[in-house]
Copies of this chain bind each other. A is one copy, B any other.
Amino acid sequence: MSSIRVVVAGYGNVGRGVIAAIRNNPDMVLAGIVSRSPERVKKEISDVPVLPLADVEKWVAELRPDVAVLCGGSKNDLPEQTAMINKFVNTVDSFDNHSCIPQYFAKVDASAQESGFVSVISTGWDPGVFSMERVLANSFLPGCRAYGFYGLGEAGGLSMGHSDALRTIEGVLDARQYTHAVPEAIEKVRAGDNPQFTPGDMHTRECFVVAAPGADKEKITSEIINMPGYFAPYRTTVNFVTMEELKAKYSGFPHDGLVVAAGTTGDGNAAGIEYRCKWSSNPEATANILVAHARAAVRLAAEGRKGAFTILDIPPAYFSTLSKAELLEKWM
């Protein structure tokens, strides 16, 4: 099998992670980077072509990618870019606004069905692997529910999607959002209560925001805590900090999470399932998962499949570099 040619669309934290992940996957090659600001990217990158994102037909012709990994934000970038790019090439993205996924799927699917390409949407670790673990736990323990928790350690976990959303607000120069799991909620699940939670019962959100000089902090705070989907459903705290403080104290991208489900088998025998991950670099972990899905997208396309897919629609073997014989021998 010849190398999978990947274009990275968007050169932020996830985009940088995808470039690193491609280097760590021997069956892939970075065909090029496309960006809304190619000149900015070229200051850092000189060994692969960097082209303007908007002219999709042109960069697809020039870079001949098998798949484009879309690394833009979920709030403004992906809803506009994905259905535009999948007219010309297979795509993978990490659209992470959970409540909007059905509409997003429908839009991307319509475009990909028409063009004949494959678009894997909303993948990463959540939505993505955690979605899959929730569905599997619910399937294997009927009647139980599976729950996702994030930021189990004291520091919490940095949410990129929510940090990105904060940075779209006028007057915000930079920002970080840390998610904290509510420990009592985890224990309720482990006890087999299958509790009915609102999102706000499970997590709190802590924002560290650098405001522009003269910006209206009250207005920024109000915009944050009322942002639908992202912050409105949660107990959200907003802390204004200086740029120096943000960089010194909130510079890494650590995150961790847990899917937990407790139910019964037979006539009431307790059963529990937990999936946990811990990342020093959340964007790199997301990138690694995106790249495995890029491999799957190319394989689906090679089978003549088209349209939108989520991780729920993809056989696990498609993510692996190993052959069927190797998987049966080594990993079953």
> Which residues of A come within 8 Å of B, CB atoms?
17, 20-21, 24-26, 98, 101-102, 105, 122, 127, 129, 131-136, 138-143, 265-267, 269-281, 284-285, 287-289, 292, 295, 310-317, 319-322, 325, 327-329, 331-332
Q: Are A135 and B271 touching (Cβ within 8 A)?
A: no
Contact B319 A288 (CB under 8 A): no
Q: Return 9 A-B CB contacts under 8 Å, by A number.
A: A140-B288, A265-B287, A271-B277, A274-B275, A310-B332, A312-B320, A312-B332, A314-B315, A315-B315
Known A24-B143, A271-B279, A281-B266; judge A316-B327 contact (CB<8 A).
no
Residues A317 and B313 in contact, CB atoms below 8 Å apart: yes
Among candidates B101, B136, B142, residue contacting A321 with C-beta atoms closer than 8 Å: B142
Which of A25, A132, A266, A310 counts the most chain B CB atoms within 10 A? Answer: A266
Nearest opposing residue in chain B for A96, CB measure: B332
Contact of A129 among B140, B270, B284 (CB under 8 A): B140
Q: How far is the CA of A285 from the CA of B262 in the complex (A)?
A: 12
CA distance A311 to B317 in the complex (A): 9
Q: Which of A295, A312, A321 has the most CB of B within 10 A?
A: A312
